Structure 1
Amino acid sequence: MVPTLRDGDACLVWWGRAPRPGDVVVARLPDGRGLGVKRAEFADPDGSWWLRSDNVGVGTDSAAFGMVPGQDVLGRVLVRYWPKPAWLRRSA
């Protein structure tokens, strides 16, 4: 998620909160990839989300693994509180 977040950043997550397009989210990634922090791009009618990495060309996102079911989007990242505090903003 560079430049928005870097490895080791500590964040406050609103668990269970439904995302809006442009939000940074924590999601359970498909195929046993574990948890990931991605940007929610858009939802389809069944509630699945297209997630993208802010680090275009380097990060793994929905271009590689497809739509993520809504129940696997676990929460919205609200703020980075360490090492450099900052509110996370939605992308346009």
Structure 2
Amino acid sequence: MRLRTPRHRSLCALAGAAALAVAAARRLATVEVTGDSMLPGLRPGDWLVVRTGARPAPGDVVVAEHPERRELLIVKRVSHRSGDGWWLESDNQRARGRRDSWDFGPVPDDLVVGRVVGRYWPRPRVRPARRPAG
């Protein structure tokens, strides 16, 4: 996972145009989710808006550099503050290849890239209201 803009701009131009415009003005970045470690809330292919430099709090979803592979970004949920870092966990502990603080310990502040502030692609699914029978 790496911070980048969408490859298929035409597919997400309407959904992401506002998010990308705001991103340029507010120290925001975008990141694409890969892997199943954050299911069911975040799925592979979801695009997130990340507020870089934002201090996390327990319950927040954050993007961080992997402590053992600095070139790899990870998306995890903040569990708690632990010593000199943050305890970051996967929502789906049974995901294949899942790696989080249970494996590498607390993540230092300087490796936390930012806090996820929204998902902009794919657009949230809207279901039509059901009409009462009769």
Matched, 1:24 2:61: yes
Give the alignment's TM-score, normalised by structure 1: 0.84
Compute the RMSD of aligned alpha carbons: 1.6
The structure where strand makes up a greater share of residues is 1
Matched, 1:5 2:53: no
Cα deviations across residues 31-66 of structure 1 (Å, max 9, x unaligned)? 1161100001111243x0100000112222111111
Flag as ranges the 4+ runs of structure 1 deviating above 2 A. none
Amino acid at match of 1:16: G
Does the CA-based 8 Å contact 1:79-1:85 persist in structure 2?
no
2:102 aligned counterpart, secondary structure: helix
Does the CA-based 8 Å contact 1:29-1:72 persist in structure 2?
yes
Larger radius of gyration: 2
Give the alignment's TM-score, normalised by structure 2: 0.59
2:41 aligned counterpart, secondary structure: coil
Q: Which residue does the alignment assign to 1:65?
A: 104
> What are the within-5 Å matches in structure 2 for residues 37-52 of structure 1?
37-46=75-84, 48-52=85-89
Count of residue pairs the alignment pairs up: 85
Shift of 1:84: 2.9
The structure where helix makes up a greater share of residues is 2
* Unpaired stretches in structure 1, ≥5 consecutive residues: 87-92
Matched residues, percent identical?
A: 52
Cα deviations across residues 52-90 of structure 1 (Å, max 9, x unaligned)? 00011222211111111011111000111110349xxxx
Does the CA-based 8 Å contact 1:25-1:75 persist in structure 2?
yes
Amino acid at match of 1:20: A
Q: More relative contact order in 1 or in 2 (CA 8 Å, sep 6+)?
A: 1
* Unpaired stretches in structure 2, ≥5 consecutive residues: 1-37, 126-134
Shift of 1:30: 1.3
